[in-house]
Amino acid sequence: MQLLKKLKKNISKKNRVIHGDCIEVMKTFEFMNKRRDKNKYNNSFIFNMKIKKICPIYKKEFLIEESRLKHGRGKHCSKECQYKAMKENSGIKLKCVVCGKEFKRSPSHIKSKYSFCSNECSYKGRSLGFVERNIIKPYNCYRKPKRKCLICNSEFIYHKNTQKYCSRKCFEIAHKDNMKGSKNPSWIDGRSYNKRGYRGEEWDHIRKEVYERDNYYCQECGVKCIGRKKINDMNGFLLIQCHHIDGNKENNELYNLETLCVKCHGKK
């Protein structure tokens, strides 16, 4: 009784552990408030004794409570040992038909007379004729629909019902035709065709072809030209331009065009 009184003073609401030489004693402080009669159910102490045991796998000593031994627990020192023991004890011993290796498998996974230890052996067994291939779900042989492009008349697989062209190039060609002349929302009365700098509808595309053909080098002085984005106060004379050789600005054939810098173009 005197020991219990001392323990009541020293033990707080949290659990405490007292370590002995061979036995470990756990004191738990529980409040029993299941009923209103507080005098009937006072604060009670539960003493759980810990006993030494040896793990059957690692042969290691460990401590376990007596209360856990009643339910068949506490046989192993950790969960890893428990899982290993479950693997060793559970399953049926089988022998692989292909490589002759022994292995264990649960009865729920045994579906045929012939057993294989791995996927490689199962593929070999299929080729040897032990097992036939069972297709549970058939392959999806549905072919995606095809459509003809309105520009180049080539077949392509479309992903949307609104897709009419096979590539971006065909779309740009069709877009030019759709935005030409009076179809363009910014159309006024055709004054842009009468401007001095107008060289035709496909002038931008033709000019880029000429620059790529000449590798962006001036055909008079041999200097490599640059675009408008790279111009500053020091290199303004290197601006690239396209020149008509015969002077006829309506003749936009490739043989009549050459690449020049601003300086050489001004001289000509």
Same domain assignment for residues 39 and 8: yes
Classify residue 160: in a domain, yes or no.
Answer: yes
Query: Do 211 and 152 share a structural domain?
Result: no
Residue identified by tokens 């030019």 is: 176
Q: Are residues 55 and 6 in the same domain?
A: yes
Domain span at 237: 202-267
Map residue 4 onto helix, strand or coil: helix
| DSSP β-bridge partners for residue 261 | 240
pLDDT in tens, the chain (268 residues): 554 455 445 544 444 443 333 333 333 333 333 344 444 444 444 455 788 888 888 888 888 887 777 777 788 888 888 888 877 777 788 888 888 888 888 787 787 788 888 889 988 888 888 887 777 776 666 677 889 999 999 999 888 888 999 999 999 999 988 888 888 888 888 777 777 788 887 888 899 999 999 999 999 999 999 998 888 988 889 999 999 999 888 899 999 999 999 999 998 8
Burial 179-201 (b: 16+ CB within 10 A, else e): eeeeeeeeeeeeeeeeeeeeeee
81 inside domain: no
pLDDT, residue 213, reads 94
pLDDT of res. 141: 62
| Burial label, 116 (beta-carbon count in 10 A; 0-12, 13-18, 19+) | buried
211 assigned to some structural domain? yes
Instruction: Tell which of 11, 45, 74 closes a domain.
Output: 74
Counting the structural domains of the chain, the total is: 4
**Domain shared by 17 and 66, yes or no:** yes
Q: Examine the domain organization and report whether 70 and 95 are in the same domain.
A: no
Residues 62 and 8 in one domain: yes
Contact of 241 with 260, CB cutoff 8 Å: yes
Query: Same structural domain for residues 122 and 157?
Result: no
Q: Are residues 214 and 246 in the same domain?
A: yes
Same domain, 171 and 214: no
Q: Which residue pairs, CB below 8 angstroms and at least 24 apart, start in 149-156?
A: 150/174
Q: Is 97 found in the same domain as 67?
A: no
Amino acid identity of residue 149, one-letter, is C
189 belongs to a structural domain: no
**223 burial class (0-12, 13-18, 19+ CB within 10 angstroms)?**
middle
186 belongs to a structural domain: no
> Does residue 253 sit within a domain?
yes
Between the two ends of the chain, the Cα-to-Cα distance in Å is: 121
Domain membership of residue 197 (yes or no) is no
Q: What is the pTM of this model?
A: 0.37
Residues 219 and 263 in one domain: yes
* 136 in any annotated domain: no
| Predicted local distance difference test score (pLDDT) of residue 142 | 65
Of the candidates 259, 245, 151, which has an alpha carbon nearest to the alpha carbon of residue 211? 259
Is residue 170 located within the same domain as residue 207?
no
Instruction: Quote the pLDDT of residue 219.
Output: 92
pLDDT of residue 4: 47
Q: Residue 54 half-sphere exposure, CB side, CA atoms within 13 Å?
A: 2
- Helix%, strand%, coil% for the chain, nearest 5: 30, 20, 50
